[in-house]
Structure 1
Amino acid sequence: MPLSRRNTRSESSKNDEEENGIDTSDTKKKKKMSYVKKDPDQWIFLLNDSIVQESPDEENKPVICRLRHPRTGLGALFLFAKGDREVYEVTQFKEENRSWFIGNYVQQDGSLYITTPVDPVFLALPYLIKMEKTNKYMTADQIIHDDEFSETSRLCNTSRVSELHQVSQTKGSDSLCAYKFDKEKTLSWLKIKTERVAEVLEEKNISVCGAHSATFVRSKKSATGSKEDYLRYAHGMISDYLPQDLSSDLRQYLGIPSAPEKRPSEAENPPSKKVKLEDITPTEDYSKMGGIQEDKAKSKSKLSAAQKKLSQVDKTGMKSISSFFSPKSSKT
């Protein structure tokens, strides 16, 4: 039977592969595994030279940690440098179909990681607000603690952790100080931060009035925004590092009016772009009149000089050419 022949052939081929040391059972699996993307063991960073300065002390080497982001509450990457005295936010810039050429090696991950300095007080604020419920004064290491993100305690070693007194009430001495969240002091501190950012934006002539095309030419009127525009934009930048409730309180504290919200009817039922034909139908038919006038104008414009002279001749008593070709009437 043909089926038995095929079976014997397949069995013989398997036997040959086994004799040659080919593992037929794992061949396909190995091929699939060869296409699995591996996590890169190196990344491309854009950072300050002072962060990566060589130091004999291992504690001064930069360390990347995952901390809780003050805005979202989710994990985010931060970099500690110079013995945890400085902290930087790590932002990933990634686009599709990008890679890096490093010597003779091609790195598939074309991401670029950018580091920007961040005030550690912003990272400590959510923990300070959380401990407000206890109505107790606590030290920095008692407040800045997170079981999910164990590296959070590094914030206590930063050089600006002493600035917590700007957003809290304090007790004790400089060597042993306890803190308790103060909302009024926090809003006053954030107001100074926001106004300072707005001043820098205005000095740099940063456009805050909306998005523009790359080829857009600014006029004198559109080049500068109002004080309120810069303050609103600065508030948005500061709010990227604040909890939602504190961001709303800061907006009211600054006297920034809330953006007008769209009506539900406008958002759910947008105006129809389709125009009904019966609404634009004319009450009178002007097409015939226009056609007659156009035909007359065309006929007048097409007359030659001889035709114009012929039209001026007296044609009384003259027969037209068509009369010679018409059938003659029978005489009775």
Structure 2
Amino acid sequence: MADRLDYGEGTDAQQFVFLLPEYLKDTSKKMKTGLMFVKLVNPCSGEGALYLFSMCLQQLFEIKLFKEKHHSWFINQSVQSGGLLYFATPIDPLFLLLHYLIKADKEGKFQPLDQVVVDDMFPNCILLLKLPELEKLLQHVTEEKEIDKKKYYKYSREKTLKWLGKKVNQTMAALKTSNINVGARVQSNAFFSSHQISSDKEEDYICYAHGLISDYIPKELNDDLSKYLKLPEPSASLPKPPSKVAAQRQKRNK
């Protein structure tokens, strides 16, 4: 059996927490909750990774494993033993779509989306085409044209870098709003409120936010983004961005 936690009361934000991998085999529970675990391509590594698709919300979530020994967890009104937690947090599907758009761009032509998002290794990628406001999302990273009432798309590097730049700025704003310190004196596996130590430089925030976004894009595009943002060469003094699981752990400990 698995349990779920919903966060962001009064908002559309949700987070699912699964305690046991047996949930993956429980067909009745999947039908009841409208949740489907699928294996899709990781946009950074190009390898397979586990994601969660909500058929009710028509939303995509990434799955992160959080493992600790000798722990129990308070979930809703029950106590669950075991140190494994599977966190499911919303992810922008455009990151995954970029993988296919960049790959298709090697042909150098406009193509219909159902011919772009095709993957023999991860056939469930077709679920990405069922997500709402898909055409609106694609405007951020593609050029498009319409022929005989059918739309064709082509990857746009310029639009994509502009969109990623906005993502970095949004991440920076969230870090500052949450009083997250990202300075060189902070270890990569810890968060501290800004009142605990001196303020960070703007450059630290940019580099840190870029590091978080880099987990969702291929290396070549990440290098282009670094140049687009005019970032300095990597320095050992800059902290490595923590995983989202580490962030969730810190929030729970506050």
TM superposition score normalised by structure 2:
0.72
Structure-2 separation of matches of 1:234 and 1:225:
13
Match of 2:27 in 1: none
Change (3 A) 1:59 1:112: closer
Match of 1:141 in 2: 114
Structure-2 separation of matches of 1:218 and 1:261:
21
Query: Deviations 1:48-84 (Å, cap 9, x if unpaired)?
Result: 59879xxxxx698111111111011222111111447
Match of 1:237 in 2: 212
Aligned length: 212
Change (3 A) 1:108 1:200: closer
Change (3 A) 1:227 1:174: farther
Structure-2 separation of matches of 1:85 and 1:134:
31
Change (3 A) 1:230 1:239: same
Q: Indicate the SS of the match to 1:63.
A: strand
Match of 2:85 in 1: 112
**Amino-acid identity (%):** 37
Q: Indicate the SS of the match to 1:90.
A: strand
Counterparts of 1:44-123 in structure 2, within 5 Å, are 44-47=3-6, 61-83=34-56, 85-98=58-71, 110-123=83-96
Aligned to 1:124, which of 78, 88, 97?
A: 97
- Shift of residue 223, structure 1, vs aligned partner: 2.8
Say if 2:179 and 2:193, in contact at 8 Å, map to a contact too. no
- Shift of residue 139, structure 1, vs aligned partner: 1.8
For structure 2, the residue ranges without an aligned partner over 5 or more in a row are 17-30, 238-254
Match of 2:199 in 1: 224
Q: Which amino acid aligns with 2:34?
A: K
Q: Does 1:177 align with 2:151?
A: yes
Aligned to 2:130, which of 157, 182, 197?
A: 157
Say if 1:46 and 1:114, in contact at 8 Å, map to a contact too. no
Which structure has the greater CA radius of gyration? 1
Which stretch of the first structure deviates more once superposed, 76-85 or 148-157?
Answer: 76-85
Structure with the higher fraction of residues in helix conformation = 1
For structure 1, the residue ranges without an aligned partner over 5 or more in a row are 1-41, 53-57, 263-332
Say if 2:69 and 2:82, in contact at 8 Å, map to a contact too. no
Change (3 A) 1:219 1:202: closer
Q: Indicate the SS of the match to 1:258.
A: coil
Structure-2 separation of matches of 1:195 and 1:130:
27
Q: Does 1:166 align with 2:134?
A: no
Q: Which amino acid aligns with 1:223?
A: S
Counterparts of 1:218-297 in structure 2, within 5 Å, are 222-260=197-235
Say if 1:47 and 1:115, in contact at 8 Å, map to a contact too. no
Structure with the higher fraction of residues in strand conformation = 2
Q: Indicate the SS of the match to 2:216.
A: coil
Q: Does 1:191 align with 2:137?
A: no
- Shift of residue 176, structure 1, vs aligned partner: 3.1
Say if 1:165 and 1:179, in contact at 8 Å, map to a contact too. no
TM superposition score normalised by structure 1:
0.56
Aligned to 2:181, which of 193, 202, 207?
A: 207
Structure-1 separation of matches of 2:36 and 2:194:
44
- Shift of residue 256, structure 1, vs aligned partner: 0.7
Change (3 A) 1:219 1:189: closer
Structure-2 separation of matches of 1:114 and 1:203:
23
- Shift of residue 88, structure 1, vs aligned partner: 0.9
Match of 2:242 in 1: none
